[in-house]
């Protein structure tokens, strides 16, 4: 009898433990469905795109960048850490120099903290290079010929970051909201490498539609400042 009693008690303990575990699992599933955070996923990975931006110095007037010589293109947008290279094709020496109020009358004040002043040799093919470390808008000119004769503008943007996206899964056609920073003017959003249609785009939020042939994989957002890639995948159902 004592042996039978111990066996029955053991079986009852196992059944009670199993019931508690099942209840906990059910409660956890319920909480997940009720918790909005469960429908979003964080993104921690960021990869900068460090493509070189090339500007050519040409003879002749520009539409808005000078009366004698031209920085072509006159205005560019680059990412922090991306080099800008000027190549001279005029046969005359120049400089690429960040503007000051006195040197560039009428020009807006530069909003970034970088300053630069580099000579560009007279020989065709001579170059100068600047890599920007501070976001902002920079107006620059040639010290030899003056602001009125030749000037240009460089807009430097910070790399994008993704804080989260929601929902974390769905079928093709699902509308996905991506939030983060420096997301304005996104040039491309992909789901596992497949380009998606961008519905709206601000500095902190992008709304896109999952492509019709998308497969499960990470989301990537590309701007002039670089590419941000999620650390977890969007699941296509």
Q: Where are the domains of the chain?
A: 53-157, 159-237
Handedness of CA 171, 36, 222, 140 (dihedral sign): positive
Mean pLDDT of 19-42: 44
Asked whether 64 and 96 are in contact (CB, 8 A), the reply is no
Burial class of residue 14 (count of CB atoms within 10 Å of its CB; 0-12, 13-18, 19+): exposed
Residues 162-190: tens digit of each pLDDT: 999 999 999 999 999 999 999 999 999 99
57: CB partners within 8 A, 6+ apart:
69, 70, 71, 72, 86, 87, 88, 89, 90, 94, 120, 150
Question: Between these two residues, 50 and 191, which has the higher pLDDT value?
Answer: 191
57 has a pLDDT exceeding 80: yes
Asked whether 80 and 124 are in contact (CB, 8 A), the reply is no
Q: Which fold has domain 53-157?
A: Immunoglobulin-like (2.60.40)
Asked whether 44 and 229 are in contact (CB, 8 A), the reply is no
* Three-class secondary structure of residue 99 per DSSP: coil
Handedness of CA 92, 98, 102, 105 (dihedral sign): positive
3-state secondary structure 71-86: EECCEEEEECCCEEEE
Q: Report the DSSP pairing between strands 53-59 and 83-88.
A: parallel
Question: Between these two residues, 19 and 208, which has the higher pLDDT value?
Answer: 208
Q: Is 159-237 a domain of CATH 2.60.40.10?
A: yes
State the pLDDT at residue 64.
Answer: 87
158 has a pLDDT exceeding 60: yes
Mean pLDDT of 12-27: 46
DSSP symbols for 19-41: HHHHHHHHHHHHHHHH-GGGG-E
- Of the pLDDT bands very low, low, confident and very high (cuts 50, 70, 90), residue 33 is very low
Question: Per DSSP, which regions of the chain are E strands?
Answer: 41-42, 45-47, 53-59, 69-72, 75-79, 83-88, 94-98, 117-120, 127-131, 136-141, 151-157, 161-166, 169-170, 175-181, 188-191, 194-195, 197-201, 205-209, 217-223, 226-236
The domains spanning 53-157 and 159-237 adopt the same CATH topology: yes
Portion of the chain with pLDDT greater than 90, in percent: 76
19 has a pLDDT exceeding 60: no
State the pLDDT at residue 21.
Answer: 41
**Separation CA 81–CA 91 (nearest Å):** 30
- Of the pLDDT bands very low, low, confident and very high (cuts 50, 70, 90), residue 5 is low
67 has a pLDDT exceeding 90: yes
- Of the pLDDT bands very low, low, confident and very high (cuts 50, 70, 90), residue 17 is very low
State the pLDDT at residue 89.
Answer: 98
Residues 75-117: tens digit of each pLDDT: 999 999 999 999 999 999 999 999 999 999 999 999 999 999 9
State the pLDDT at residue 25.
Answer: 44
**Separation CA 61–CA 83 (nearest Å):** 25
pTM: 0.74
**What letter does residue 144 receive in the DSSP assignment?**
T
151: CB partners within 8 A, 6+ apart:
65, 66, 71, 99, 104, 107, 139, 140, 141, 142
Question: Between these two residues, 73 and 10, which has the higher pLDDT value?
Answer: 73
């Amino acid at each position: 009898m004592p042996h039978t009693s111990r066996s029955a008690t053991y079986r009852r303990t196992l059944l009670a433990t199993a019931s508690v575990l099942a209840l906990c699992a059910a409660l956890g599933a319920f909480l997940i469905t009720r918790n909005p955070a469960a429908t979003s996923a964080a993104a921690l990975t960021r990869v900068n795109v460090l493509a070189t931006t090339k500007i050519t110095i040409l003879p002749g007037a520009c539409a808005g960048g000078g009366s004698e010589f031209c920085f072509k293109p006159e205005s560019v947008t680059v990412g922090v850490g991306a080099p800008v290279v000027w190549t001279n094709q005029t046969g005359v020496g120049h400089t690429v120099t960040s503007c000051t109020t006195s040197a560039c009358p009428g020009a807006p004040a530069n909003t970034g903290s970088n300053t630069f002043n580099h000579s560009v040799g007279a020989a065709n093919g001579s170059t100068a290079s600047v890599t920007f470390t501070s976001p902002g808008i920079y107006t620059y000119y040639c010290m030899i010929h003056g602001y009125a004769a030749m000037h240009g503008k460089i807009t430097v943007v910070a790399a994008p970051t993704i804080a989260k996206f929601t929902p974390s899964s769905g079928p093709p056609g699902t509308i996905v909201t991506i939030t983060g920073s420096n997301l304005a003017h996104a040039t491309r959003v992909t789901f596992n490498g497949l380009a998606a249609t961008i519905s709206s785009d601000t500095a902190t939020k992008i709304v896109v539609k999952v492509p019709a042939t998308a497969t499960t994989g990470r989301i990537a957002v590309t701007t002039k400042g670089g590419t941000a890639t999620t650390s977890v995948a969007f699941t296509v159902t």
